[in-house]
């Protein structure tokens, strides 16, 4: 554990199962008798829970005096949310993170996810008749989530207090304001102390990584929203202590933001060229495999997880091209089909 700035502590939790191997959980202990803040809940593992139990105990923070601000609903950030809620902690999250029951990338275990899943997968070009092997891999994940409770990608349901942008949350000597950070997810939010110039920016900007802009729903303009949000980020938080959930605090905000933007512009340009040369309609899954050099059928679990991610990423890029009139989007039997406006 390190103290990043007086009264703000950082705990690193590790996962040995997933492609994301670590997350940083920030803790702002409250003043005597007051509530304390934890930013994000961490991976759903006994090991991670044990680490946090020790830390909370060392600070003398009881669960009924603990507030957890969940920046977005991904498994590394919300995996243990239900566990803390059951122990009496108060959770905060933007309800926009719950607007869909199922997302291709992460298994959000809530009502309706099993009903929504076939439709979402069909939309991306994954069907029992067209891509039976990949379909079966998704079904296998469902079976594992329902039988093996240790499935790390699942997010068990939890109760929380809904938050929106501009709300104030004060802990210790800090007064944070909830700020929208659209892009990595639709409703991601951070916490910003205007006076002390500190921001918990979750996965909006990460040094050395291009955060996934993952969507499998049409007309959410996620990549476009990410670009707009990053532009604002660059100006608003450039002189702040920027604390992301992964990797090191960000020193050169402009450089990190520009690298992410250029990487997405490169990728959308490549995807545009794939469509231009195809001379036919393609599914999102087909475009994704070409854009990311993936085999048509994943060979193991790691490749399967990567495929889920690149499908979501590709869909965001395709939607961006569609918004810019650089791609045509059609739909046949529930599957989105993409083609170039020039071919
Ligand atoms: Zn994350």
The pLDDT-based confidence of 96 (bands split at 50, 70, 90) is very high
- Residue 244 C-alpha to ligand 1 middle, in angstroms? 9
Q: Which long-range contacts (CB under 8 A, 24 or more apart) does 230-239 make?
A: 230/183, 230/204, 230/205, 230/257, 230/260, 230/261, 231/257, 233/181, 233/201, 233/204, 233/205, 233/257, 237/192, 237/199, 237/201, 239/197
* H-only helix segments in the chain: 46-59, 75-78, 81-86, 113-124, 132-147, 222-236, 253-278, 284-291, 301-323
Percentage of the chain exceeding pLDDT 70: 95
Question: How confident is the model over 131-180, as pLDDT tens digits?
Answer: 999 999 998 888 877 776 556 777 888 999 999 999 999 999 999 999 99
Cα separation values, 20 from 58, 89, 319, Å: 27, 26, 26
- Residue 109 C-alpha to ligand 1 middle, in angstroms? 18
* Predicted local confidence at residue 211, as pLDDT: 94
Tally the residues of the chain: 343
DSSP characters over 36-57: EEEE----S-HHHHHHHHHHHH
DSSP characters over 170-198: EETTEEEEEEE--SSSTT-EEEEETTTTE
Residue 312 lies in a domain: no
* Predicted local confidence at residue 100, as pLDDT: 86
* Predicted local confidence at residue 90, as pLDDT: 98
* Predicted local confidence at residue 21, as pLDDT: 85
Q: What is the mean pLDDT of residues 190-214?
A: 96
User: Residue 35: which domain range?
Assistant: 2-98+156-255
Residue 177 lies in a domain: yes
- Residue 286 C-alpha to ligand 1 middle, in angstroms? 27
- Residue 6 C-alpha to ligand 1 middle, in angstroms? 24
- Residue 115 C-alpha to ligand 1 middle, in angstroms? 26
For residue 246, give the CATH number of its domain: 3.60.15.10
How far is Cα 69 from Cα 192, in angstroms, rounded to an integer? 12
Angle at 50 between CA 49 and CA 52, to 5 degrees: 65
Residue 139 lies in a domain: no
Residue 165 lies in a domain: yes
- Residue 339 C-alpha to ligand 1 middle, in angstroms? 32
- Residue 213 C-alpha to ligand 1 middle, in angstroms? 12
- Residue 22 C-alpha to ligand 1 middle, in angstroms? 8
* Predicted local confidence at residue 156, as pLDDT: 85
pLDDT, the chain, mean = 93
Residue 86 lies in a domain: yes
Residue 188 lies in a domain: yes
Percentage of the chain exceeding pLDDT 90: 83
Residue 272 lies in a domain: no
Residue 46 lies in a domain: yes
- Residue 97 C-alpha to ligand 1 middle, in angstroms? 14
- Residue 330 C-alpha to ligand 1 middle, in angstroms? 32
* Predicted local confidence at residue 33, as pLDDT: 94
* Predicted local confidence at residue 305, as pLDDT: 87
- Residue 20 C-alpha to ligand 1 middle, in angstroms? 7
Q: What is the mean pLDDT of residues 200-211?
A: 95
How far is Cα 102 from Cα 119, in angstroms, rounded to an integer? 10
Q: Is the pLDDT of residue 77 over 90?
A: yes
- Cα torsion 52, 57, 61, 62: sign: positive
* Predicted local confidence at residue 28, as pLDDT: 98
- Residue 76 C-alpha to ligand 1 middle, in angstroms? 6
Number of domains in the chain: 1
* Predicted local confidence at residue 151, as pLDDT: 64
* DSSP single-letter state for residue 243: E
pTM over 0.85: yes
- Residue 165 C-alpha to ligand 1 middle, in angstroms? 20
- Residue 241 C-alpha to ligand 1 middle, in angstroms? 19
Question: How confident is the model over 292-310, as pLDDT tens digits?
Answer: 999 999 999 889 989 999 9
* Structural contact between residues 27 and 36, judged by C-beta atoms closer than 8 angstroms: yes
102 Cβ neighbours under 8 A, 6+ residues apart? 108, 112, 113, 114, 116, 117, 120
- Residue 212 C-alpha to ligand 1 middle, in angstroms? 10
- Residue 214 C-alpha to ligand 1 middle, in angstroms? 12
Nearest to 264 by CA among 236, 291, 282, 296: 291
* Structural contact between residues 25 and 10, judged by C-beta atoms closer than 8 angstroms: yes
- Residue 12 C-alpha to ligand 1 middle, in angstroms? 12
DSSP characters over 78-90: HTTHHHHHHTT-E
Q: Is the pLDDT of residue 91 over 80?
A: yes
- Residue 74 C-alpha to ligand 1 middle, in angstroms? 7
- Residue 78 C-alpha to ligand 1 middle, in angstroms? 9
């Amino acid at each position: 554990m390190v103290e990043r700035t007086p009264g703000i502590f950082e705990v690193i939790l590790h996962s040995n199962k997933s492609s994301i191997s670590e997350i940083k959980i920030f803790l702002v202990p409250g003043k005597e008798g007051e509530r304390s803040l934890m930013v994000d809940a961490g991976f759903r593992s006994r090991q991670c829970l044990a680490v946090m139990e020790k830390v909370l105990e060392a600070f003398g923070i009881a669960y009924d005096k603990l507030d957890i601000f969940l920046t977005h609903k991904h498994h590394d950030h919300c995996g243990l949310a239900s566990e803390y809620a059951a122990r009496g902690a108060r959770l905060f999250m933007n309800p926009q993170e719950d607007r869909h029951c199922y997302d291709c990338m992460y298994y959000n275990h809530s009502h309706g996810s099993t009903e929504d899943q076939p439709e979402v997968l069909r939309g991306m070009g994954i069907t029992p008749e067209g891509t039976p092997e990949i379909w079966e891999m998704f079904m296998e994940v469902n079976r594992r989530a329902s039988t093996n409770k240790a499935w790390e990608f699942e997010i068990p349901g939890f109760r929380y207090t809904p938050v929106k942008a501009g709300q104030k949350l004060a802990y210790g000597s800090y007064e944070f304001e909830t700020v929208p950070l659209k892009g990595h997810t639709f409703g991601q939010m951070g916490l910003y102390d205007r006076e002390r110039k500190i921001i918990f920016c979750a996965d909006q900007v990460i040094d050395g990584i291009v955060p996934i802009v993952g969507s499998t729903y049409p007309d959410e303009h996620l990549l476009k929203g990410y670009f707009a949000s990053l532009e604002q980020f660059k100006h608003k938080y450039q002189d702040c202590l920027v604390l992301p959930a992964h990797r090191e605090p960000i020193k050169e905000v402009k450089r990190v933001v520009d690298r992410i933007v250029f990487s997405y512009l490169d990728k959308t340009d490549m995807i545009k060229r794939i469509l231009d040369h195809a001379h036919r309609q393609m599914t999102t899954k087909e475009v994704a495999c070409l854009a990311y050099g993936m085999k048509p059928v994943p060979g193991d679990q790691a490749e399967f997880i990567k495929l889920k991610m690149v499908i979501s990423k590709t869909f965001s890029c395709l939607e961006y091209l569609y918004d810019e009139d650089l791609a045509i989007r059609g739909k046949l039997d529930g599957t989105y089909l993409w083609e170039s406006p020039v071919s």
